[in-house]
Amino acid sequence: QKEVEQDPGPLSVPEGAIVSLNCTYSNSAFQYFMWYRQYSRKGPELLMYTYSSGNKEDGRFTAQVDKSSKYISLFIRDSQPSDSATYLCAMSQNSGGSNYKLTFGKGTLLTVNP
């Protein structure tokens, strides 16, 4: 079993739709949960991060972590064509900064159609 599982999609939605992206994980030591966005032929860009369980909102984006279920989600409201990208979940046993490696999901390819 992989440490992090993510449905690769692809996911295609109309503009304005609510998008739900999810990951499950098996390593109980993960404490920091991140979502990166990766446009075609670019490096991943940090979108949101959450520590332990709970919700975090930033504009049209909401990240949720349920450690009891080992399940994380990213919701995108009022999706725009510019949101079309691959979304990667990533997890770390600490800050995800200088001390520890990131473990990524496979990524979900999202297309928002005008």
Partner 1 sequence: DAGVTQSPTHLIKTRGQQVTLRCSPKSGHDTVSWYQQALGQGPQFIFQYYEEEERQRGNFPDRFSGHQFPNYSSELNVNALLLGDSALYLCASSNTGSFQYFGAGTRLSVL
Q: Which x/- pattern, by CB under 8 A, does the window 2-41 give for partner 1?
A: --x-x-x-------------------------x-x----x
42, 103 Cβ separation under 8 angstroms: no
4, 21 Cβ separation under 8 angstroms: no
Residue 46 binds partner 1, judged by CB under 8 A = yes
| CA-based nearest residue to 1, from 21, 23, 25 | 25
The minimum distance between CB 91 and partner 1, in angstroms, equals: 11
Residue 56 binds partner 1, judged by CB under 8 A = no
Helices (H), 1-114: none
Which residue, 17 or 73, has its beta carbon nearer to partner 1? 73
Q: Structure tokens of 1?
A: 């079993």
Chain centroid, CA 13 distance in Å: 17
Residue 106 binds partner 1, judged by CB under 8 A = yes
Contacts with partner 1, residue ranges (CB under 8 A) = 4, 6, 8, 34, 36, 41-46, 49, 88, 90, 95-107
